[in-house]
Amino acid sequence: MNIATYAADIARAVAFLSRVPMPKSAFEGYDGKLGRVARAFPVAGIFIGILPAIVLLLMLCLHADRLMSALVALAVQAIVSGALHEDGLADCADGIGGGRDRDHSLSIMKDSRIGTYGAIALILSFAIRAAAIAAIARGTVPFAAALALPAVGCISRCALVWHWQRLPPAKSDGVAAAAGQPSEGVMQTALVSGCLLAALLIWPSLGLLPLVCSLLAAGISVLLFGRIVRSTLGGHTGDTLGAAAQISEAAALCALAMAL
């Protein structure tokens, strides 16, 4: 693996998945395709989770309420990421929940307005993740709780890449199709590197059982979500990628909290 090329892919992945500015040199000669860049998504998930983790750590060390600290950390995370995945979750919930058939669901997902299903999905996403983070903070020291955020950010981006690679595009002219689908090798690279990085963050601070539970929960949740997407939409879209990240992140956080 070329280190310079991989470093450039990390910068491109961070730029795509967040609002964090990256050096212009990383985009010289770049064609905008994400098929290969997806291998760096798990590493980008760690970078995106660093600032929310710092905020959570500081608030916990100042003896702030755990649930309040978790909500503030999630708010910072949404700002850093530009709420990219939250937007996908809301659109996906509206489309799958309110669509009469495949075409109707896809047309709903293109609508920028948020409906009832989307609003409920966003509320539950923030509530479940905040409650899980607060539970993790209650069960361990502040530093270990803070490490859970970049670790789960890494895991959820692994799930996103798996969902992206395993399902065909729902629309040949969609944004996800235009971005280029990851190859089997890219997906495997993302999974292996993501699992190793997550292990380095979770195992020493929280233990082996929470690590295994979080990986299993993320994998099972994205697998079940993928089956729903395949049966209702026929394949992935940009919105289902974001939803896969959100669902697997919530599942991984809940598993971590329950395993402590």
User: pLDDT tens-digit profile of 74-123?
Assistant: 999 999 999 999 999 999 999 999 999 999 999 999 988 999 999 999 99
- Measure the CA–CA gap between 178 and 91, rounded to whole angstroms: 19
Tokens of 70: 């978790």
In a domain, 196, yes or no: yes
| Residue 176 in tokens | 């996800």
d(CA 90, CA 112): 10
| Residue 236 confidence (pLDDT) | 94
φ and ψ at residue 158, rounded to 5 degrees: -60, -45
Q: Which two tokens stand for residue 203?
A: 């195992």
Q: With helix as H, strand as E and coil as C, how does the chain read?
A: CCHHHHHHHHHHHHHHHCCCCCCHHHHCCCCCCCCCHHHHHHHHHHHHHHHHHHHHHHHHHCCCCHHHHHHHHHHHHHHHHCCHHHHHHHHHHHHHHHCCCHHHHHHHHHCCCCCHHHHHHHHHHHHHHHHHHHHHHHHCCHHHHHHHHHHHHHHHHHHHHHHHHHCCECCCCCHHHHHCCCCHHHHHHHHHHHHHHHHHHHHHHHCHHHHHHHHHHHHHHHHHHHHHHHHHHCCECHHHHHHHHHHHHHHHHHHHHHHC
Q: What pLDDT score was predicted for residue 181?
A: 86
Whether 26 is covered by a domain: the verdict is no
**Amino acid letter, residue 85:** H
Domain for residue 229, yes or no? yes
pLDDT of residue 237: 94
Residue 24 falls within a domain, yes or no? Answer: no
25 within domain boundaries: no
pLDDT reported for residue 1: 63
The domain total for the chain is 1
Positions of the chain with pLDDT lower than 70, given as ranges: 1, 174-178
Domain interval for residue 231: 3-18+38-259
Q: Let me know if residue 23 belongs to a domain.
A: no
Q: What is the pLDDT of residue 29?
A: 79
Q: What pLDDT, on a 0 to 100 scale, did the predictor assign at position 33?
A: 85
Residue 248 lies in a domain: yes
User: Residue 219: inside a domain, yes or no?
Assistant: yes
